[in-house]
Structure 1
Amino acid sequence: MPPSRRRLLAALAGAALTGCQASGAARPGPGAAGPAGSVLATPAPAPAASAPAASGTARSGGAEAGAPAAVPGSADPPPGAASRAGAVTRADLVSRYGQLEPTSWGFDGPGVLSRLPAGEAAIALTFDACGGPQGNGYDEALIGFLRERRVPATLFLNSRWIDANPAVARALAAEPLFEIANHGTRHCPLSVSGRSAYDIPGTRDVGEVVDEITGNRAGLTELLGRPPRFFRSGTAYLDDVAARIVSDLGERFAGFTVNGDGGATFTAGQVHSAVTAAGPGAIVLAHMNHPAAGTAAGIATAVPRLLDEGCRFVRLSEAVP
């Protein structure tokens, strides 16, 4: 995809990721700032890697091999540069990062996966299930279409959505077609200083960042029998310090290349246009918790067109070492 096109699609995220939100998603923190004046980072390519994938062959989840944890002020950690889950404590991370001031705020940061590794020609469909008063729905038509066409996808489940849909969550977790990933505990933007995105208050400090990641991970580990590999915050916003915390906790922050459904606000035609514009290596972000939205209908026309053009679809773990 040309850089100008990618920037345009990323800019659509202004209304984009608010479809993930639900009122009461997080407690407001002191000094919380709205999105006005925030830096909107354009997703950048992830570090190059070589990992050929085969659609429909890999199971979900699986912890990454441990590697030296990132340290404050270090260069961007390589993919998987994290301690194994449980090898680092909340107190460790508060001590390590508690005095650092973040220098970025947006969709990008150290170790953030904004597209598939260089050379990967497939497309990764990812769907958020955000939970909360307006976010506990289940788009059965969307999931049914993916099942019918045997199209793999990575599903980012929020703790509240799982609590509201336990039987569905168990069924999805048991299905090899889908990979289950972590969409947080309270669906907060991931901030160490209480910043907000789209009027959704973010986590207020390092401790709350850790809680947002590990609270839901505990439930997902029980559900899956292993920790999830990938994490995406509410709204997909994070700062650079929070990005390092995600890595230190053994997960990889998954951003996006293409905003597929504008936070579940797009019509079916708009979804179709956005998704069919995704080029090789794109990570498409859409939602599976708003059945009345245009997501299912748009995906149902876009995916067959891309398949006819020879496109492959993969779960994130199939393409990312």
Structure 2
Amino acid sequence: MRLASLASRSLTVLTALTALALLAGGQQSPVTAAATSTVARPRPEARTEPGPPERLFGSTNRRMRTTDRVVALTFNAAWDDAGVDTVLKVLRERHVPATFFLTGEFAERQPAAARAMAAEHGIGSHSYDHPYFDDLTPAQVGDQVFRADRAIREATGKAPLPFFRFPYSATTPQGIAEVNALGFADVEFTVDTWGYKGDAGGMTVQRAVDRVVARLVPGEIVQMHVGADVAEGQHSSLDAEALPRIIDAVRAHGYRIADLRTSLLPHAR
């Protein structure tokens, strides 16, 4: 991609975000402030939360950058909250950290669940309403990031981490550059349990566990889901059922479960 083209698209994103901020009452969110400070290198002081993690920019970040035998657990929240209580209970009882990637729509529909996750774990953004980003214009990318950030803040009362996970993990260099320009690092995953497919999709608890174990490497990032896609005929969260066995299997292979916040943001508290 030519630099001139990237700069042009980034400026379009910034214009859209500025307009959105004005429509919201003339107040900039930290996301907008980070974007308007500079495109190529957003200033850390433009955000009150840790970041932006510039060393993670320009990459999909599908693993933690470490040789230690550690694994990070992450959950996407875009559908219902069927598995939230179980997931949080298991994590609490096993003293295990996790990071949750919420869509803005989920935060608006399920504010109690969003607050419960944020009270105990790190929260990242998964867009506003889960579109394919390669179908979006730069202005629409900005809208997705801005609206998700605002919805998560309003639901949880906390600033989300400077982590963004693309819907469907449909990343492109262009999309990553645009999200980076807004102060977010793209954080994807090493393996998906496929628990979201449920029984109707041929998945079982054991198959979900086996997928995690088969991809065990230092720095592995595991993707799971807290809810079920009712539109696809799922009515329970298989990942919530599989979580205790996933934790046991990871530990049995000599790995510990790390907090993605401190692994990717060493100065985060």
Corresponding residue for 2:13?
Answer: none
What's the CA shift string for 1:24-65, capped at 9, x where partnerless? xxxxxxxxxxxxxxxxxxxxxxxxxxxxxxxxxxxxxxxxxx
Task: Give the counterpart letter for 1:138 in structure 2.
Answer: A
- Residue 210 of structure 1 deviates from its aligned partner by 1.0
- Residue 236 of structure 1 deviates from its aligned partner by 1.3
Ranges in structure 1 where 5+ consecutive residues have no aligned partner = 1-69, 75-83, 94-108, 195-203
- SS of residue paired to 1:238: coil
- Residue 262 of structure 1 deviates from its aligned partner by 5.0
- Residue 212 of structure 1 deviates from its aligned partner by 1.1
Distance 2:80 2:4 in 1: 37
Does 2:65 align with 1:117? Answer: yes
Select 1:206's aligned residue among 127, 138, 144. 138
Contact 2:66 2:218 in 1 (8 A): no
Corresponding residue for 2:226?
Answer: 288
Kindly report structure 1 stretches of 4+ aligned residues shifted beyond 3 Å.
Answer: 70-74, 262-265
Corresponding residue for 1:216?
Answer: 148
CA distance change for structure 1 residues 210 and 270 in 2, over 3 Å: closer, same or farther?
same
- Residue 263 of structure 1 deviates from its aligned partner by 3.5
Identity, in percent, stands at: 26
Counterparts of residues 1-321 of structure 1 (less than 5 Å): 85=31, 86-89=33-36, 110-130=58-78, 135-139=79-83, 140-175=85-120, 178-191=121-134, 194=135, 204-222=136-154, 223-261=156-194, 263-265=196-198, 266-277=203-214, 278-290=216-228, 292-321=236-265
What's the CA shift string for 1:186-233, capped at 9, x where partnerless? 111222xx2xxxxxxxxx200111111111112223434334211112
CA distance change for structure 1 residues 264 and 125 in 2, over 3 Å: closer, same or farther?
farther
What's the CA shift string for 1:253-289, capped at 9, x where partnerless? 1111111125443311111101222222111111111
Contact 2:195 2:238 in 1 (8 A): no
Contact 2:77 2:225 in 1 (8 A): yes
Distance 2:103 2:157 in 1: 14
Ranges in structure 2 where 5+ consecutive residues have no aligned partner = 8-29, 41-56, 229-234
- Residue 244 of structure 1 deviates from its aligned partner by 0.3
What's the CA shift string for 1:124-147, capped at 9, x where partnerless? 1110011xxxx2233022222112
Contact 2:195 2:205 in 1 (8 A): no
Distance 1:318 1:168 in 2: 23
Which is richer in helix?
2
Distance 2:189 2:5 in 1: 25
Q: TM-score, normalised by structure 2?
A: 0.70
Distance 1:116 1:71 in 2: 31
- SS of residue paired to 1:299: helix
Distance 1:292 1:119 in 2: 36
